[in-house]
Structures are given as structure tokens and as C-alpha cells.
């Protein structure tokens, strides 16, 4: 018979979690804390490989050993794993795993040290002396780092050539030092992605202000470094970082400081990372007992570390734990109850492990617990129990048993055991071969989990995320709320079950944990000097700047053809407008222009019809016709300013305005000169008759108009008017206007009009008192006075307006000045022609003169 002693050292083992795809809800009876439970204990198991079948009844002897429920949890997981291997016909055929468990198998760390002494422990070890063919000792230690280090150091010191060490529990980088621990294997997966998983959860719930509590050791420092490395990639800040001393006396002197640091912090989320059997765990239990309620984010090792206080279900406070993803191991409860159906009731088993609960009925569970917290709810839960859930450490034990079994199975297949061994070197050579096979062992366990013992090969990590609440009657509930898998691309690694959160808490939202309220769209962050990047003020975006996301550093300026809406979270296309015929204002101006032009046409018709009357002949009827025709075009000129501008209309606006008005004003000037010359002719001895008869006044119109045409030609040659877009005059609008090109040229044209009008005004003013019945000098004087007043008023008003109102001002000035000329010069004459014809009769005039 080949025998293999398999030594297991167990410490105080918290009740932990496993992952089940379905269901995802669990319940458990919390343990009663006493002084014995708080002691860190370890266990020693001897695993023997025998060439005979072993029935399940063999493991009944473990039921009579008095030990803590924590240790029973691991013992039962070990027995279940061995029994499953023994029942597997394809693994180690004709061989069985057995172990012995006695009251001396478990002890505190101090007692464990003495039991490990070679003279006291291994001299009395069953099968070590009794079984002559014992070749190698395989030691499984954990989950505490100190125990693994102590065991590894002592075993390498006393029996370095006959020992292989396998650890379970959290992965510790220090145990990967092959110089210090040359024959050590860690079953647990590395936690290289734990920091990323936790940060992904923070990011999902928009938590950017968190606290951190770690143990003051290499493991805590390494986690802090990893966490900071992930936090640097996104904006998540530490509200505080508490480093808890490992030594109890030092911790007790600072306990109040750590409590106050968490109590006074504004964060609602605190990350805890460290050994659950340490001063950190003691501090955590004290914080909970003092009513300190936070969302504690930690690892699955902290599932069983809790105070006696209960949390209300309507509170979001509780623990969120990250557990390594493991497939479901079924029939564990069936195996345990087969050992002793009487003692291992559901309530007893619920004190050992989480019991998976059908999530389809979990909603009524929460409702029952919330509204009717009584012993009846516990009895109801017992009916819903399906199976026991393996913890992370139980899974490690399960995989460790299978790893050793696979390594031995490969040795049997290659007949390694049949090779002769030399006396003193036989044990050492055999351990080397077991070590060689164990190092290369990789397999898929019966539930589908991939196991690789070579630590240089890295598997992608997967985590299950649970939220845990404690209720009266020692009842604990746990709900799986999400998963994290590093297999997937960045941004798709985290998946949260919002329906489970809503089912358990009544809301899909978690409490906020931020230093500053988010700056919503339309605002930007304004960092506070000397504060963390998560602490900031919010400042509104500047004019015509927007932000459509939260917490932006800088707002984005809208392009010129867009404008910011009132909320300043969106750039909107500006409306393109111009002085349109369809607008009320454009329609009114159009009607005015058409009316005045039609009215002027009527006046022209009246003058043509009554061209033989004295009042028409007396004031140079040809000049009157020219003036009326020019006024018709002056009234039609505003139509070029209304409607969508184009290159042609932009040029015609100013040129037509300049030339037509020049004709009109120069005609008025010619009329005033005609009046003045007419009275000078009647003076004896003057030569003015020649100028009057030769038609000199008619040349005034041609010369003045030619000068204006030259000015306009120069304007068009060097800087012609063009289509322009006014982006800034009206908020949210782009105004299509005609840019005058050269402002100087425009004012030269306008100034030329003014000089002609002023000249006409002076001449008419000088001739206002000349005696004649039909002397229109006074009418010309008033018309020029009105004309000059309109355009003098135009200048300041034009410069004080923007956009299409400038066009309106210019159009109104054209209409007003033209109407002034028409009204002052021709309306009085039409009144006489049409309403007072007796005053337009030559005979009547002679009778009036003779009288």
C-alpha cells in the first residue's frame, strides 16, 4: 500500500461565498461570537492513499470531534472532495483518499507551532512511522498568510526533502518567492484584477469619493498601489486612507482616530482590504457595533466578519463583496446530511455555509423580512433551501484535492511508483517527481473550472459581486448583483443586475458618494485650489459656449453659424433671416413704396393733363416732369432692399439710390436756379436772359448726375457692395445683408447728395421772397429743409441699429425724403389744379392783378 500523508493547517476560517449562476440569492444563520470563535485556529489533516475502496461511512468519525463551526466547514468540504474523488472511476482507480481527524488536529497558532516541532509532532504522527512506504508529505496551509509562512519555514527546516506545500485562501505574492519556499503552490487565483473590478463598480454607480482601510503590511501596500494605478486613469479620489497597524497594542492607541476619520468623512463608500483575522477585522466589528453605517466594499473573506447589530432592509448600507467566480458544486448538502441526518439540520448547515435561495421567490423574502420580522420568516426560508454553497476556501480545498489526485494519477500512468529508489535518496527523489508532476498539472474540475498549478501561467480573473444584509434572529441575506470578467474588452467587463438591486432594495440606484455634486450640462468644473480633483465648483459656460456632458473641464464654443440654447447644452443652427416681403415689416415697406410710386405717377398724369395751365408752365414743366419721374424711381428704389439679397441687388441698391436721388436733388437745384434766373432776367441791363434761354439749368442735372456716376464707378471698381452674413447682431439668427463694401464711398455718395441739397436750399432760400404768383421758391426751400433733416437724422439712427433694422432705417429715409420732395413741391400745386382751378386761370390772375 502506498501512503501519502496530506497535512492541512487551517486558521479561523470566515464563512464565505461561492458563485451560482442560478439561483443568485442566499441566506444563512450568523454565528454566535464568543471568545473561542475569535481565536485564530489551525487544523492538521493526514491524507492517505490506500489501495482499497472507502465508503462514505468512513468520514462519520469527524462528527464526534468538538471544534468550531468554522473548522467543521472546511472539514466537511475536504471530506466531500475526497469522497467525490474516490467515487470517480477515471481518477486513481483502485485507490482511495482517507484522513483521520482528532481533537489534536486543530489548535491555535501558538499550539500549532509546538505541534509542528519534529520531536513532538512528527514522531507521533500516525502513518509517518507506521507506514514504511510513506514517500512524501504534502502540506495544505491557509488561509492566513502568517500560518503559511510559519508552516513553510518549519517544514523546509526539518524535512525539506520530503515535503510539498499547497496553500489555499487569498493569493499572497510573498509566497511566490521560490528561494524561500521552493516547493510551495498556491491554489487561489491572483487578485491582479481586483482593483480594476472595484474601480469599475465605483465608476458604474458614479462613486468618485471613497475611503480606504488597509492593513499595514506588504499585501495592503500592494493593493493600495494597484488601486491608485487604476484611479489615475479616471477621476476617483480618496476621501481618506487609513492604514491599520498589525500590532494590537499600537492599534488600540489609535482606534478612536480611525473611527473618527471614517465617521467625519463625507464619503458613503469605504473599501476594506486585509486579513479578516486581524486588528483590521476587530476595528471593523467595532465600527459596525457603534452604528457606523457605510457601504463596505471588500473581498469574500469578509463575508462572515460582522457585528451582532442588524441592518434595516430599507437601508442601502451593507457589504458588497467580490468573490472569485466558481461554477456550482451540487449535492454538498446531500453529502453532509448523509453523514448524520439528525444533527445536520438545515438550521445547523446554515451556520456553516450560505444556503442558495431561489431568486424567483426572493422578492417575497425581502417583503416578509421587511414587514414581518419574526421567527416564521426563518421557518419559511428553511422550506426554500436547496443546497449549501461552497465558499472560496472550500473551492480551493476542492481544487487542491483534485490537483494532487491528478498529479498522482499521471505518476501511476507512467509507472513512476514502480521505479526503484535508493535508500537515503528515495524519499527526496519521490518528492521531486511529485513536485514535477504537480507543477505541470492543469485540468478542468468536474464542475467546469479551469485549474492551473503553474503560477507562471495566468488565467483571466472573474469575480461575482454580492451585497449582504444582516437581519434579526441571526439571519443573513446575500444577493448576487453583478459580475466582472477580465476576458471582455475594457468598458464591457462589468455587468450589474439592476433587477436584483431593485428587488432587494426597492430602487435601482445606489446612494451617491461624491465630494461635489456633478456639474450638469451647461456648466463646467472649476477646481478648488488645494483640493482633490473630485472636489470642485460649477461655473456656467460663457456666452455662446456649451457643454452637453457632466463634469467637463472646458465648455465648447459654438461655431459662427450656430448659437447656444438657453440651457447652454446644445448648439443650434442659427435661423437665416433678411428683410422679407412676407414679413410684416417688409410687407408694409413694400406697400408704402408702391403706394408712393403710384401716387407720384398720378401726380405726373395730372401735370401732363394740365400742362397748358399757368401753374404748370410757370415753373418749367420739363423740370417738373423730370423730378416726378425721378421720384417714381426713388419710391421704387426700396424694393431693391427687400427680399433675399444677391450680388446684383446689392450693387443696384446703392447705385440706383445714388444716381436716382442725384437726379431728383439736381432737378430741384435746377428749379431753384431757374426761379432765380427768371427774376434776374426782368431786371434791366442784366445778361441773365442768355443763360435762361440757352437752357443752362438743364445742364445742371446732367453735370451733377455725371459726377455721381463717376463716384459710383470708382466705388464699383475698387470695393463694390457684396452679400454678407451678420452673425452677431441678433441672437440665434444669421442676417443676410448687403455689405456696402467701401463705407467711405457710401458716405461720399451720401455727402454728395447732401451738398446738392444744401446748395438747393441756399438758392431757394435766397429766392423765397421774389414777387410772383407762381413762385415755388418757398416750396423748394421747405422741401430741401425736410430732405436735409431726414438724412441728418439718418446718420446717428443708422449707426445705432444692427441687422435688418439698418436696412429698414435706410428704406424709411429714402421713402421719407422722397415723400418730402413730393409733398412740399407738388401737393400744393395739385391742390390748386384740382380743387382751386380759379387760381390757375390766366384771366382770373389778370383781374386780380388789375384790381
Alpha carbon distance 314, 504 (integer Å):
9
pLDDT of 701 strictly over 80: yes
Q: What is the mean pLDDT of residues 255-259?
A: 89
- For residue 227, what pLDDT is reported? 92
Taking only the tens place, the pLDDT of each residue in 479-536 is: 888 999 988 888 889 999 887 777 666 677 788 888 888 888 999 988 877 788 888 8
Q: Is 443 helix (H, G, I), strand (E, B) or coil?
A: strand
pLDDT of 131 strictly over 50: no
Alpha carbon distance 440, 140 (integer Å):
18
How many CB atoms are closer than 10 A to CB 117? 12
Give the cell for residue 161: 526533502
- Long-range contacts of 170-175, Cβ-Cβ distance < 8 Å, separation of 24 or more: 170/143, 170/145, 170/219, 170/299, 170/301, 172/145, 172/148, 172/219, 173/218, 173/219, 173/222, 174/145, 174/149, 174/218, 174/219, 175/145, 175/148, 175/149
Give the cell for residue 692: 435762361
Let me know: does 198 contact 212? Beta carbons within 8 Å. no
- For residue 98, what pLDDT is reported? 73
Alpha carbon distance 438, 447 (integer Å):
20
**Cβ within 8 Å of residue 124, ≥6 positions away:** none
Q: Which residues of 7-35 are buried (b: 16+ CB within 10 A; e: fewer)?
A: bbbbbbbbbbbbbbeebbbbbbbbbeeee
Residue 90: CA atoms inside 13 Å, Cβ hemisphere, count? 2
Average pLDDT, the chain: 79
CA dihedral sign, ordered 308, 275, 325, 436:
negative
For every residue of 387-438, DSSP letters joined together read EEPPPHHHHHHHHHHHHHHHHHHHHHHTTGGGS---TTTHHHHHHHHHHHHH
Q: What is the mean pLDDT of residues 369-390?
A: 60
Alpha carbon distance 17, 477 (integer Å):
12
Of 151-155, 186-190, 372-376, the range with the lowest mean pLDDT is 372-376
- For residue 77, what pLDDT is reported? 85
Residue 15's pLDDT band, with cuts at 50, 70 and 90, is: very low
Question: Using alpha carbons only, what angle is made at residue 223 by residues 219 and 228, rounded to the nearest 5 degrees?
Answer: 150
- For residue 116, what pLDDT is reported? 61
DSSP H/E element including 835: helix 827-835
- For residue 175, what pLDDT is reported? 85
User: Which residues on neighbouring strands pair with residue 724, listed in sequence order?
Assistant: 737
Residue 393's pLDDT band, with cuts at 50, 70 and 90, is: confident
Give the cell for residue 841: 386761370
Alpha carbon distance 431, 454 (integer Å):
17
Let me know: does 430 contact 136? Beta carbons within 8 Å. yes
Taking only the tens place, the pLDDT of each residue in 801-829 is: 887 888 899 999 999 999 999 998 888 88
What percent of the chain is predicted at pLDDT more than 90?
18
pLDDT of 646 strictly over 70: yes
Instruction: Cell 433678411: give the residue.
Output: 578
How many CB atoms are closer than 10 A to CB 717? 9
Alpha carbon distance 349, 354 (integer Å):
8
How many CB atoms are closer than 10 A to CB 375? 10
Alpha carbon distance 657, 633 (integer Å):
9
Phi, psi of 741, rounded to the nearest 5 degrees: 75, -90
For every residue of 145-181, DSSP letters joined together read HHHHHHHHHHHHHH-TTSEEEEE-SS--GGGG-TTT-
Q: What is the mean pLDDT of residues 197-206?
A: 92
Going by DSSP bridges, is the β-strand pair 556-557/722-726 parallel, antiparallel, or unpaired?
unpaired
Going by DSSP bridges, is the β-strand pair 295-299/318-324 parallel, antiparallel, or unpaired?
parallel
Alpha carbon distance 782, 494 (integer Å):
87
Let me know: does 255 contact 201? Beta carbons within 8 Å. no
CA 550 from chain centre, in angstroms, equals 6
Alpha carbon distance 297, 292 (integer Å):
14
Instruction: Cell 489615475: give the residue.
Output: 232
Residue 332's pLDDT band, with cuts at 50, 70 and 90, is: confident
Alpha carbon distance 692, 681 (integer Å):
8
Phi, psi of 774, rounded to the nearest 5 degrees: -105, 30
- For residue 816, what pLDDT is reported? 93
Question: Any idea what DSSP says for residue 107?
Answer: E
User: Which residues on neighbouring strands pair with residue 485, listed in sequence order?
Assistant: 462
Alpha carbon distance 294, 201 (integer Å):
16
Q: Does residue 48 or residue 686 have the better pLDDT?
A: 48
Alpha carbon distance 385, 475 (integer Å):
14
pLDDT of 21 strictly over 50: no
CA 369 from chain centre, in angstroms, equals 37
CA dihedral sign, ordered 810, 816, 819, 820:
negative
pLDDT of 450 strictly over 70: yes
Amino acid at each position: 500500500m502506498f501512503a501519502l500523508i496530506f497535512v492541512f493547517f487551517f486558521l479561523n476560517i470566515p464563512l464565505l461565498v461561492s458563485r451560482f449562476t442560478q439561483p443568485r440569492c442566499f441566506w444563512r444563520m450568523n454565528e454566535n461570537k464568543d471568545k473561542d470563535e475569535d481565536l485564530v485556529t489551525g487544523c492538521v489533516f493526514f491524507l492517505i492513499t490506500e489501495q482499497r475502496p472507502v465508503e462514505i461511512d468512513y468520514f462519520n468519525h469527524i462528527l464526534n470531534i468538538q471544534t468550531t463551526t468554522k473548522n467543521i466547514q472546511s472539514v466537511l468540504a475536504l471530506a466531500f472532495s475526497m469522497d467525490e474523488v474516490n467515487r470517480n472511476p477515471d481518477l486513481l482507480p483502485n485507490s482511495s483518499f482517507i484522513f483521520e481527524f482528532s481533537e489534536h488536529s486543530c489548535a491555535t497558532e501558538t499550539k500549532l507551532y509546538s505541534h509542528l516541532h519534529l520531536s513532538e509532532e512528527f514522531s507521533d504522527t500516525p502513518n509517518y512511522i507506521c507506514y514504511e512506504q510513506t514517500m512524501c508529505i504534502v502540506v495544505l496551509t491557509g488561509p492566513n498568510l502568517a500560518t503559511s509562512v510559519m508552516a513553510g519555514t518549519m517544514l523546509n527546516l526539518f524535512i525539506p526533502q520530503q515535503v510539498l506545500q499547497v496553500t489555499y485562501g487569498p493569493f499572497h505574492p510573498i509566497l511566490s518567492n521560490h528561494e524561500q519556499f521552493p516547493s510551495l503552490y498556491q491554489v487561489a487565483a491572483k487578485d491582479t484584477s481586483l482593483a480594476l473590478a472595484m474601480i469599475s463598480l465605483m465608476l458604474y454607480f458614479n462613486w468618485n469619493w471613497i475611503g480606504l482601510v488597509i492593513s499595514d503590511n506588504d499585501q495592503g501596500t500592494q493593493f493600495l498601489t494597484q488601486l491608485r494605478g487604476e484611479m489615475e486613469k479616471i477621476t476617483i479620489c480618496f476621501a481618506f486612507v487609513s492604514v491599520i497597524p498589525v500590532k494590537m497594542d499600537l492599534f488600540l492607541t489609535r482606534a478612536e482616530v480611525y473611527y473618527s476619520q471614517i465617521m467625519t468623512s463625507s464619503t458613503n463608500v469605504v473599501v476594506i482590504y486585509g486579513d479578516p483575522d486581524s486588528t483590521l477585522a476587530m476595528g471593523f466589528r467595532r465600527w459596525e457595533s457603534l452604528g457606523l453605517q457605510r457601504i463596505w466594499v471588500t473581498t469574500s473573506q469578509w463575508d462572515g466578519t460582522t457585528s451582532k447589530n442588524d441592518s434595516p432592509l430599507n437601508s442601502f448600507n451593507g457589504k458588497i463583496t467580490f468573490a472569485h467566480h466558481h461554477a456550482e458544486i451540487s449535492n454538498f448538502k446531500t453529502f453532509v446530511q448523509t453523514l448524520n441526518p439528525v444533527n445536520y439540520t438545515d438550521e445547523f448547515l446554515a451556520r456553516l455555509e450560505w444556503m442558495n435561495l431561489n431568486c424567483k421567490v426572493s422578492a417575497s423574502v425581502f417583503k416578509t423580512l421587511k414587514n414581518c420580522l419574526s421567527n416564521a420568516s426563518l421557518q419559511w426560508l428553511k422550506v426554500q433551501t436547496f443546497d449549501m454553497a461552497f465558499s472560496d476556501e472550500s473551492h480551493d480545498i476542492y481544487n487542491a484535492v483534485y490537483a494532487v489526485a491528478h498529479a498522482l494519477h499521471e505518476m501511476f500512468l507512467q509507472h513512476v511508483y514502480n521505479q526503484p529508489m535508493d535508500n537515503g535518496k528515495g524519499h527526496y527523489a519521490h518528492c521531486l517527481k511529485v513536485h514535477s508532476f504537480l507543477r505541470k498539472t492543469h485540468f478542468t474540475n468536474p464542475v467546469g473550472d479551469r485549474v492551473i498549478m503553474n503560477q507562471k501561467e495566468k488565467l483571466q480573473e472573474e469575480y461575482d459581486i454580492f451585497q449582504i444584509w444582516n437581519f434579526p434572529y441571526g439571519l443573513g441575506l446575500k444577493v448576487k448583483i453583478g459580475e466582472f470578467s477580465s476576458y471582455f474588452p475594457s468598458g464591457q467587463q462589468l455587468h450589474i443586475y439592476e433587477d436584483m438591486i431593485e428587488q432587494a432594495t426597492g430602487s435601482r440606484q445606489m446612494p451617491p458618494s461624491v465630494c461635489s455634486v456633478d456639474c450638469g450640462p451647461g456648466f463646467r468644473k472649476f477646481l478648488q485650489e488645494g483640493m482633490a480633483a473630485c472636489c470642485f465648483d460649477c461655473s456656467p459656460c460663457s456666452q455662446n459656449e456649451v457643454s452637453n456632458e457632466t463634469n467637463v473641464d472646458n465648455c465648447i464654443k459654438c461655431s459662427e453659424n450656430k448659437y447656444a440654447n438657453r440651457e447652454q447644452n446644445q448648439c443650434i443652427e442659427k435661423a437665416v433671416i433678411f428683410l422679407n416681403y412676407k414679413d410684416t415689416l417688409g410687407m408694409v415697406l413694400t406697400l408704402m413704396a408702391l403706394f408712393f410710386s403710384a401716387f407720384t405717377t398720378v401726380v405726373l398724369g395730372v401735370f401732363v393733363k394740365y400742362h397748358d395751365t399757368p401753374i404748370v408752365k410757370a415753373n418749367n414743366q420739363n423740370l417738373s416732369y423730370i423730378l416726378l419721374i425721378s421720384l417714381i424711381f426713388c419710391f421704387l428704389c426700396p424694393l431693391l432692399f427687400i427680399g433675399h439679397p444677391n450680388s446684383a441687388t446689392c450693387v443696384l441698391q446703392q447705385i440706383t439710390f445714388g444716381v436716382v436721388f442725384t437726379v431728383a436733388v439736381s432737378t430741384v437745384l435746377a428749379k431753384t436756379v431757374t426761379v432765380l434766373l427768371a427774376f434776374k432776367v426782368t431786371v434791366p441791363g442784366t445778361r441773365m436772359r442768355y443763360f435762361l434761354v440757352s437752357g443752362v439749368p438743364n445742364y445742371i442735372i446732367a453735370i451733377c448726375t455725371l459726377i455721381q456716376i463717376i463716384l459710383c464707378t470708382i466705388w464699383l471698381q475698387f470695393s463694390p457692395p457684396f452679400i454678407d452674413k451678420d452673425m452677431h447682431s441678433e441672437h440665434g439668427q444669421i442676417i443676410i445683408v448687403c455689405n456696402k463694401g467701401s463705407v467711405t464711398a457710401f458716405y461720399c455718395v451720401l455727402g454728395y447728395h447732401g451738398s446738392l441739397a444744401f446748395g438747393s436750399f441756399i438758392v431757394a432760400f435766397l429766392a423765397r421772397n421774389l414777387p410772383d404768383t407762381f413762385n415755388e421758391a418757398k416750396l423748394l426751400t421747405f422741401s430741401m429743409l425736410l430732405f436735409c433733416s431726414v438724412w441728418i437724422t439718418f446718420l446717428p439712427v443708422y449707426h445705432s441699429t444692427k441687422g435688418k433694422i439698418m436696412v429698414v432705417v435706410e428704406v424709411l429715409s429714402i421713402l421719407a425724403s422722397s415723400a418730402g420732395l413730393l409733398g412740399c413741391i407738388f401737393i400744393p400745386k395739385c391742390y390748386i389744379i384740382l380743387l382751386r382751378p380759379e387760381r390757375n386761370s390766366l384771366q382770373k390772375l389778370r383781374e386780380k392783378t388789375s384790381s
